[in-house]
Amino acid sequence: MLHINELTFRFGGRVLFENASTVVPKGHKVALIGRNGTGKTTLLRLLGGELAPDAGSVAITPGCRIGRLSQDAPDGPASLLETVLSYDQERARLLAESETAADPNRIAEIHTRLADIGAHTAPARAAEILSGLGFDAEAQARPVGTFSGGWRMRVALAGILFAAPDLLLLDEPTNHLDLEATLWLESYLKTYPHTVLLISHDRTLLNSVPTRMIHIDQRKLVAYAGGYDQFERTRRANLERLSALQSRQIAQRKHLQSFIDRFRAKATKARQAQSRIKALERMEPIIGIVEESTPEFEFPSPEPLPPPLITLENVTVGYEGRPILSRLDLRIDLDDRIALLGANGNGKSTLIKLLANRLSPLSGQYRRSGKLKVGYFAQDQAEELTPTLTPIQELQRVLPTTPEEKLRSHLARFGLGRDRAETVVAKLSGGEKARLLFALMTREAPHILMLDEPTNHLDIDSRSALIQAINGFEGAVILISHDPHLIELTADRLWLVSDGTCTAYDGDLESYRALLLDRMRSGGGRRNGEGAATRRDQRRVAADQRAALAPLRRKAAEAEADVTKLTASCERLEKRLADPQLYTGPGDELTRLQIELGELRKRLAIAEDAWLDALERLETATEQAGG
């Protein structure tokens, strides 16, 4: 499928790859891993033909369809469904050509190819992918331009998945997803029928989907079998083995050099000394693997405050008088570590803005300690940085009276040493900008850290450093993240934002994942509410709900069967219309078949609408049942 041979590539005067080689077999799911700045995204651009290597080659199977997740969000008046359908360029081109083609043989070819690629089941397939990524039927009909950038990036992901290229290139596909959509994507990629090359810093995804890692290490491409945890174990063992070999060789070289130095001048030992000189020259030095230093995070300790820090009693919050969340009865103390669960759009960011005092309640009692300091990290906050300022200047802007050395010391807490502290923001990497935001938000030693998707631009090592910093922080933490690994290692309480409110979730993250996966397997689709229950109660409630929802599921299955039947009838007619002999005979038969096909397509469209409606009714009933 893919062969990279002796690849060398320079970018901005820096060598990213030097004589790098690797192979990706057809149908394999492979993760491309490495520190930020090592060239992962650049390699995808090389594979996609956007860049050309300076030396070596990138060989891809002829005729292979390559699809790369664009970083540009789709926009415009087209609906989400229409936008996703447009990603299958072959289908769109053939359908357009079928309206004007006159040559019988070409018409036959068009209909044959449309049947081969399942063109007339495309709307249902596109709708299913959009649903998995969090768009209900109503949202799928809305213009893509009415959605925010993050949601439009989900549409881009849906489009590339729908196009189903032979080689799927995904660069951080979970950055704009919530936990629910991430789980769906994980399940989808596991059964994806073609080759996948994935860049991700989500450890859970890297352990679940790929069966092979390609590590960018010292400008080479080094392959490892297994998921990310297996890669770490293998690499650690290799480092230990290499370190032992290097130590042994250093000792051997010292011994040889000592003999040479002692006996080179003695005639009786000259021959032996010369032989050892040659042995020393022939000895290839073992080069140790150079491990780049991992930036360490350190959140400053806050001054003690008596509990509670924040209390909410029957609070309602929203925008322009429209409630988003209500019936909020919550309390936060200094030792709390709380993660917010729930699908995007349910109000997690609204709640964290309320707690950070960025939103005022519409009603209810909202009390906070008078001396409370809050550090707030918003996922779109990097846009507020001034591109022409350096990190030290950004800090001086908000702390004009603080001595410069103290500001530099604070930046160093987050891995921004003297060089990076004097680099303009525009030239910082995404991870470095995130670290600058951490420095800015903690400049006054806050009592609470409010973190809304803090890991989007951090590599795995930086995420590990963040986990250590959170666990070492002496104040409270409120966290929103799609990274299960981060939540599992830092949060000891879970709050579920759903059904227009926020309540404590009594299970752990594993039980929440199990609940979501169970709903996916049972055909309930995505929804916005989950009840708080123990694992045993959740299993019992889920069984009762499946029984109660059985009639709706049966209707949905019957509607799907109608779509399948009509699709098969359309394909049979399309095959007949694809027969060149048909166009050399009497025109009456051709006209009759074309009319029949047109009627079948209309019935298919109605059946697909009925199927989607049945699925929507089932989803609504599932939400109302709370399971």
Domains of the chain, start order: 1-65+166-253 (3.40.50.300), 74-164 (no CATH), 290-302+335-503 (3.40.50.300), 549-625 (1.10.287)
Q: Is the pLDDT of residue 369 over 80?
A: yes
> DSSP secondary structure string, 179-212?
HHHHHHHHHHHHT-SSEEEEE---HHHHHHS-SE
Residue 284: burial class (beta carbons within 10 Å; 0-12, 13-18, 19+): exposed
Return d(Cα 300, Cα 409) in angstroms, integer. Answer: 11
> Which phi and psi (to 5°) does residue 79 adopt?
-70, 165
Q: How far, in whole angstroms, is CA 474 from its chain's centroid?
A: 30
Mind spelling out the 3-state secondary structure of 1-17?
CEEEEEEEEEECCEEEE
Q: What is the pLDDT of residues 315-338, one digit of tens each?
A: 999 998 899 999 999 999 998 999
> Which phi and psi (to 5°) does residue 450 adopt?
-105, 105
pLDDT confidence band for 495 (50 / 70 / 90): very high
Amino acid at 98: S
The predicted pLDDT at position 210 comes to 94
Packing angle, helices 122-132 and 149-163, rounded to 10: 140
Smallest CA-to-CA distance from 20 within 36, 3, 45, 35 is with 3
The predicted pLDDT at position 529 comes to 39
Residue 602 vs residues 107, 567, 572: alpha-carbon distances, Å: 20, 11, 16
Higher confidence at residue 443 or residue 532? 443
Total-model pTM: 0.68
The predicted pLDDT at position 238 comes to 75
Among 106-110, 192-196, 436-440, 509-513, the least confident range: 509-513
Return d(Cα 360, Cα 426) in angstroms, integer. Answer: 33
Q: Where are the beta strands (DSSP E) in 406-483?
A: 448-452, 476-480
Return d(Cα 538, Cα 602) in angstroms, integer. Answer: 43
Q: What is the pLDDT of residues 113-134, one digit of tens each?
A: 888 888 888 999 999 999 889 8
Smallest CA-to-CA distance from 479 within 449, 510, 504 is with 449
Highest mean pLDDT among 24-38, 225-239, 269-283, 502-516: 24-38
Q: What is the pLDDT of residues 418-477, one digit of tens each?
A: 888 999 998 888 888 888 999 999 999 999 999 998 988 888 888 888 988 898 899 999
Q: How far, in whole angstroms, is CA 540 from its chain's centroid?
A: 32
Return d(Cα 57, Cα 65) in angstroms, integer. Answer: 18
For 3-8, what is the mean pLDDT?
94
> DSSP secondary structure string, 491-534?
-SEEEEEETTEEEEE-S-HHHHHHHHHHHHHTT----S------
Phi-psi category of 405—alpha, beta or left, where left has phi over 0 and alpha has psi -120 to 50? alpha
* CB 526 within 8 Å of CB 343: yes
The predicted pLDDT at position 259 comes to 67
Mind spelling out the 3-state secondary structure of 333-401?
CCCCEEEEECCCCCCHHHHHHHHCCCCCCCEEEEEECCCCCEEEECCCHHHHCCCCCCHHHHHHHHCCC
